[in-house]
Structure 1
Amino acid sequence: MRYDSEHKAQTRDRLLQEAARAIKAAGPEGVGIAEVMRRAGLTHGGFYAHFPNKEALVAAALDRMFEEAVARFAKRIDGLPPREALAHTIDAYLSPLHQDSVAEGCPLPALAPDVARLSPALRARFGAGLARMQAGAAALLRALGHGEEEAAQLAASLYAEMAGAIALARACAEPAQAAALRNGCRVALKARFGLRADRRRAASPGGVNLLYNP
């Protein structure tokens, strides 16, 4: 029984990993249960051992996406002073790597337009994940001397601008136009927060580059 329980949990985890990638890449309506199960190396019939329907899968996948996004944020800034951590967050989010990493990147620019057309329950799931991401940025801003309310407002604006810039950059056919969108947003945000405008690649103590690296 213990083996069965562990195996089921591992299978569900693999299913969620593939569902999260597929949903970010193609949107919730563009992904079918059969495709997700195929990507996970599972049979279509096995789906219902883990989820009652597709909406339940999308809800759990949304939770997984935001858990991973919050974990990446924490890893990226670990050991950095607040000012450098904020600058590094902006650089990482608005990097070419993130622009090109739809399936592995942040769920905000990948899914916001699609989620807006989904059920209230799924929109609430998305909103809760967004709030978690904003809370991490707000903590940095409080450490830089902003008050509670101001930090929350600035964090909301930060993610709205960064996610919007990445979404627009991905929609552009011309690489130069996409780069101008990303870089313009990066420079404007750093000016607003009194950060250096140059793009610096901070590294972890072990030398691992932490730009938006899924």
Structure 2
Amino acid sequence: MGQREKQKAATKLHILHSAARHLKTVGLTGASVSDVMSTAGLTVGGFYAHFGSKEDLADAVVRHTMTERRLMFLERFKGLEWKTRLRSALREYLTPAHRDDPANGCPLSMAAIEALHTPATASAFKEEFERFSQAFEAGQGVTGASAPREAAIGTLALMIGSMILARAAGQSAASDEILEATDAYGQTALEGFARAQRPPQAKAKR
């Protein structure tokens, strides 16, 4: 790749990072191309050298941010057996610190909302959510059983739904309670899934 191509790729990534900030904080629906480019410190004229339309950008940024977060998850919980992996994901996700810093957090909750309102992102969200589900099932660099699919999808659903509700409630006691209750419920549910997967103990010989 030549210097010009490298610069073009770097600029495109810069635009994606700017769009990701809008996606995670206020959503892309109400953001214009001018808003995204202004946040990136670039002119609107340069946008179309990288994307054909705002819809193309919306599709790309959902895929980019969800892939980035999925790979971060896989690396962080590398080598852990499935129950520990999913329990850790819940515990680290459902925190006031994450709730209060959406710009540097996971895009899943806002991407889900965006998919409801923007057809351009619906397909991207569906496909990337499936990849996320598979990552929660199989993990990375671990031997042994995969997580039950119901546990993987259920954990993701708890994380996304709880974060949407907690942010809607703002920084309040009610919001904190939502996070704490969801984490407690999820941990208990995962224990139940783990018990169901354990082979029955052999009866002791008399």
Same structural fold, with TM-score higher than 0.5 when normalized by the shorter chain: yes
In structure 2, relative to structure 1, the CA distance for the partners of 1:53 and 1:6 (3 Å cut) is same
More moved, 68-77 vs 101-110: 101-110
Instruction: Give the secondary-structure state (helix, strand or coil) at the position aligned to 1:29.
Output: coil
Task: Give per-residue Cα distances to partners, 1:165-192, cap 9 Å, x unaligned.
Answer: 1110001145211111111110111111
75-84 vs 169-178, greater mean Cα deviation = 75-84
Q: Is the 8 A contact 1:138 1:152 kept in 2?
A: yes
Q: Match of 1:42, SS?
A: coil
Q: CA deviation at 1:20?
A: 1.0
1:122 alignment counterpart:
121
- What do the CA deviations read for 1:80-125 (whole angstroms, capped 9, x no partner)? 4443322211111111221112222222212322311222x52110
2: CA distance, partners of 1:65 / 1:193: 27
Cα distance in 2, alignment partners of residues 30 and 174 from structure 1 = 24
Q: In 2, are the aligned partners of 1:93 and 1:162 still within 8 Å (CA)?
A: yes
Q: State the one-letter code of the partner of 2:35.
A: E
Pick the aligned partner of 1:160 from 157, 161, 164: 157
Q: For residues 108 and 34 of structure 1, do their structure 2 counterparts lie closer, same or farther at Cα, with a shift above 3 Å needed?
A: same
Please name the residue that 1:138 is paired with: 137
C-alpha displacement of 1:17:
0.9
The 5 Å alignment of 1:159-178 reads 159-173=156-170, 175-178=172-175
Show CA shifts across 1:117-149 (max 9, x none).
222x52110111111111111125x977467xx
Q: 2:166 touches 2:178 (CA, 8 Å); kept in 1?
A: yes
SS in 1 for 2:64: helix
Question: Gapped runs of 5+ residues in structure 2?
Answer: 193-206
Aligned residue in 2 for 1:14: 14
- Equivalent residue of 2:103, what SS? coil
Partner of 1:179: 176
Is the contact made by 1:77 and 1:85 (CA closer than 8 Å) also made in structure 2? Answer: yes
Tell me, yes or no, if structure 1 residue 192 matches structure 2 residue 189: yes
Give the secondary structure class of the aligned counterpart of 2:92: helix
Letter in 2 for 1:123: A
Q: Deviations over 1:28-55 (max 9, x none)?
A: 2121111111111211100011011100
Q: 1:170 to 1:45 in 2, by over 3 A?
A: same
Structure 1 runs (4+) deviating above 4 angstroms are 142-147
**8 Å contact from structure 2 (residues 138, 146) kept in 1:** no
TM-score norm. by structure 2 comes to: 0.84
Contact 2:18 2:39 survives alignment (8 Å): yes
- CA RMSD of the aligned region, Å? 2.1
User: Structure 1 pair 174/89, CA: closer, same or farther in 2 (3 Å)?
Assistant: closer
Alpha-carbon distance in 2 for matches of 1:158, 1:86: 7
Q: Are positions 1:65 and 2:61 aligned together? A: no
Instruction: Name the SS for the 2:72 alignment partner.
Output: helix
1:44–1:2: structure 2 CA closer, same or farther, 3 Å change rule? same
Q: Which amino acid aligns with 2:153?
A: A
8 Å Cα contact 1:109/1:164 also seen in 2: yes
- Residue 153 of structure 1 deviates from its aligned partner by 2.1
Count of residue correspondences: 190
